[in-house]
Structure formats: C-alpha cells, structure tokens
Chains A and B, each alone.
Chain A
Amino acid sequence: MSTVSSQYPTTMEPMNTSTEQPLLQVENVAHYYGSRVGCAKVSFSLWPGEVLAIVGESGSGKSTLLNIISGRLALSEGSITYRDAAGQPYDIANLPEGAKRRLLRTEWGFVHQHPRDGLRMAVSAGGNIGERLMACGERHYGTIRNAGKEWLHRVEIPENRLDDTPASYSGGMQQRLQIARNLVSSPRLVFMDEPTGGLDVSVQAKLLDLLRHLVRNLGLAVVLVTHDLAVARLLADRMLVMHQGAVVEAGLADQVLDDPHHPYTQLLVSSILQG
C-alpha cells in the first residue's frame, strides 16, 4: 500500500492561504484493533467552514477514523490538534475526559447514523434540543423553549410537534431533530456518520438540501463519513478515499470524483448507477 500511496496524492495541501489556522490538524493517526489495522497513517487538516467527506466501502476504516478524531476512540499513534474559537490548541489524544466532553457538547456536534443513538427517545423534542443549552448552564425555561421552537422551524419540523417525543416522529424527522439538537449550541465542528444512511431516497434528498443550507449559512466545519458518493459530491469541499484502513486518495471533491487516479477510487466512481 505504501508504494501505491506515493503514486497518488494522499495528503492535502492547505487550500486556505490566509494566516488563519486549521481547525483540526490530524497527523499520522492510527488505531489498531489488536493486531488488526483499523486505520493507519492518516493525515489531514480541516479549515473553518470546510466540509470534508471520508468515503470508502464498509470495513475501510472510515468510522474508526471518525471515532478517533472525535475523541471517542483511543489513538494508537499520531496526534490530533483542535483549535477552539479563541485559537487555543487542544491535544485531543491527551485531553482529560472532562474537557473532551465539554468540547463534545459545546464546540462539537456528533450526528449518528441512527437517530436513536443520538436522541433521548423518551424526552420531548424540545427537551432534546434544550439539553445542550441546559448542560451549558441555561436556566431559563422560556429561552430554552424558544430555542427549541426556532430550531424545529429551521429543520422544517412543524412547531406543534415540540412536545412530542422523537418516538412518534418519522425516520427523516428524527434525523433532522438530531441535527437540530447538535446545532443548537452553535458548534464549530460537526462529525456526521452516514447522516442519510437509513432514509429513503426522497427524504435523503430533502435532508441533504437542508444540511447543505445549514452548513453554508452557519459556516460549519464538517467531517462527514459516507459510502454514498452522491452525498459527498453534494456536500463536501474535499474528500478522502479510504480503502483497507488507509487513505488511498485525497483532494477536492469534484476533482477526485471527476478524475479518480487510484484504481479503487475509479472502481468506486464507476459503480455509481448512471441515469
């Protein structure tokens, strides 16, 4: 694999030439499941407001990568640095648990593939959206409720569903509620694991539209894991193609999709059904 990597661009040169610092700097990270490789030798930088897609087949290590950069899985090698709004760097691998969890509920968001993993199913939509605000110290019921209403509106869920539990929502609504719940604290970086995974095609399209809208308007940086190249093309600025735990190709999303260099990427691109 190492000989292959050298033939194709697998690291990314920063596209931002201003003095701004990258939001997330991932250097040579690896995670091993015993002797098995989860992912290895992955490096990239993510800039504020940028959407990075990690694509690859199942078992290629994309979820492992997402979990290590979001601090949910221990790092075997390498380093991850996150810079907060004040420019303060955080070494994610060695961050104390408390600071990590604080990041996860303030500056970060995590959208799970299955809304059930990211929502409290027995708590009303308003409570789900308000949870982060309350965790950050908001103690005014009216304010929390208004934020809930506003976010339901923004993710196109009727306001009168505010007091219903997510259990009574459709799959697409649950996923939109999960997004609202994550975005309410105005995070700077959102991790998404197959956000459109379990949804049917028309709902997927609507959700993608909404996501694109929110990401552009809020200037969110997003790390998006998907096996669906269409999702990557629609949302992502740049992409990493993973295969057997390694990044085989990286670059601007359109560039990679229109002119794939690595044989695996070519296979991936050619396997999209053409209408």
Chain B
Amino acid sequence: MKLMIGLENTVGDPTGVWGAFADGAEYFISIFQRGGEVLLSLMGGILPTLIVLLTAVNALVRLIGPEKIENLGVKASQPGLQWYPVRYMVLPFLAVFFLTNPMAYTMGRFLPEKYKPAFYDAAVSYVHPITGIFPHANPGELFVYLGIAAGITQLGFGLGDLALRYLLVGLVVIFIRGIVTELITARMMARKGAAA
C-alpha cells in the first residue's frame, strides 16, 4: 500500500471531522481483522489435527465399547485402601476417556451413595486436564488448555511437556480431591444421621 501511495499520491488522507471518522472506522475494523487472523490460524492450525484425532478416538471408543469399563465401576465400589486409587484415579480417567463429558458421571451409579459426590468431584475435575492429549473427551471446553497453550506455542516451545504434565498432575489432584470430598461427605452424613 505504502509503495503505491509513494508513486501516485494524488489523493491526500482525509482530514478534519471526516478524517477522524475515517480513522475511527479503520480502527474499528482493525479489531475484527486481527480477530479474523487469529480465527484463521486456529482453523488452519488446530482444527484439522483435532478433527482427525477426534475421529480416530471416537472410532476406537466405539470399537472397544464403553460398557467394558462398567465392571471396573463395580469393583471400585468396594471399601479398602487399595481401591482408593481405582475409584478416584483409574475410574474417573477411564470414564472421562470413554464416556466423555458429561456422560462420564453416569459411572457413579455403580458406587454406594457415600462415594458418589467424591467420584463426581474427581471425574469433573479431570475433564480439562485430559484435553491436552485427548481433546475428544471434552471438545466444547478446549480453551482452558488451548488458551494457555497458544501462548506457549507463540514463544516457540513444544506443547508435549505441558500437556503430559497437565495430564499427570491432574491425576494426582483428582485423587486428593476424591479423598478430601469423601471425608467431608462422610462427616456431613454422620452429622445429619446424628441430628435425625
């Protein structure tokens, strides 16, 4: 643009009131041009990979059959220390992976009432950490991770490290969250039982 103006600058920039309006209009449209550039980079960068990945994982889940994890739900309902990691790490992970948000919470039906709030807490807390590597589990809420990841990409770093750490730290967090919520639930149930 500048080159052309340099060669045949017969029309001056508008000045005065109209000039101010014209500047305002240009500024207004520049907001959306920038937004459009971002949209195009998202559509060109993330979307094709996402579509292929979602298709592959959706097909895999269908071929395996989500009902396979129901047995695990029955097992996880048992009392005992060794079932804590199963109930608040393995089961929420598999439920979110195979059933996705929000159907993952239906796995709670295999658990006794006293574990249901804790299982829900663990499962729902995993619907974002899992999206770093397995976005099919929660495609409607990708930008919790993708938003922050976009900044990392812009700096020129790879995302694998962040995605993996998010996935693993998420597992630790939901395990702790499950245990804490189970304790609080037990406390409140006992108090309510005593009051009644």
- A-B interaction: no
Q: Which residues of A contact B (CB under 8 A)?
A: none
